[in-house]
Amino acid sequence: METRIGFGFDSHEFKPGVPLHIGGLALDHPEGLAGHSDGDVLLHAITDALLGAVAAGDIGNFFPPGDPRWKDADSAIFLKLAIEELEHAGFRLVNVDTTLILNAPKIGPIASEMRARVADLLGVDLSRVSIKAKTPEGLGLDHVAQCHAVALVERVPEPEELKSITAEIEAEPPLDDDVVEDLLSSVHGSPKKRVAPVYDTEDIT
């Protein structure tokens, strides 16, 4: 089974008078995260991790910060596109591990609710989502929120019923007419009966 890893990072500065959104939740806090969209640092990092896993660029390629359409946009939109890109490339999410770095608000008391919300947005079981939080001690980042995200994805196997005749042929020894008919029968049903010519082709001039 083919697996890949994607890494995402995002950072936003706190700003008074702006609603705070982290992990798809609206949090009660005197300052929010400044950004062209809603500034959801956690969803942005996960979005980039998913896109990176399938080498599909980053969030800015799809949602340029100068585009007025994404002003104050819900970051769940960005995450949804990343999931669609992942599926289009033939992969699915195995798990995501994230670390938030910020002084406030405290994430511990709401981590369970945040995990549940992110799992719901990703369409995966809660056990596949990890959200941790650290304080930026000694980094001089008291007014900034950062997030690191790592996503593990795996290729989706083709359903057995969609197995092509090519795959059947590759698994067989050198072909003769009987083998070809057997293959066609196994994939498409009973083979057509051969119709014998009503005249001898050797007599045609």
Q: How far, in Å, CA of 146 to CA of 177, rounded?
A: 65
**Tokens (6 digits) for 32:** 């929010």
Percentages helix, strand, coil for the chain (3-state, rounded to 5) are 35, 25, 40
Predicted local distance difference test score (pLDDT) of residue 167 = 55
Q: HSE-up of 201 (CA within 13 Å, CB side)?
A: 2
Predicted local distance difference test score (pLDDT) of residue 60 = 83
- pLDDT per residue of the chain (205 residues) written in tens, 0 to 9: 899 999 999 999 999 999 999 999 999 999 999 888 899 999 999 999 999 999 999 988 888 777 778 787 899 999 999 999 999 999 999 999 999 999 999 999 999 999 999 999 999 999 999 999 999 887 778 899 999 999 999 999 876 544 554 555 455 555 456 655 665 566 556 555 555 555 454 554 4
pTM: 0.76
Measure the CA angle with vertex 72, ends 52 and 57; round to 5°.
15
DSSP state of 203: G
DSSP state of 36: S
Predicted local distance difference test score (pLDDT) of residue 162 = 45
Q: How far, in Å, CA of 158 to CA of 174, rounded?
A: 25
The CATH number corresponding to 3-155 among 2.60.300.12, 3.30.470.10, 3.40.190.10, 3.30.1330.50 equals: 3.30.1330.50
Buried b (16+ CB within 10 A) or exposed e, 35-72: bbbbbbbbbbbbbbbbbbbbebebbeebbeeeeeebee
Q: Which part of the chain has CATH 3.30.1330.50?
A: 3-155
Predicted local distance difference test score (pLDDT) of residue 161 = 45
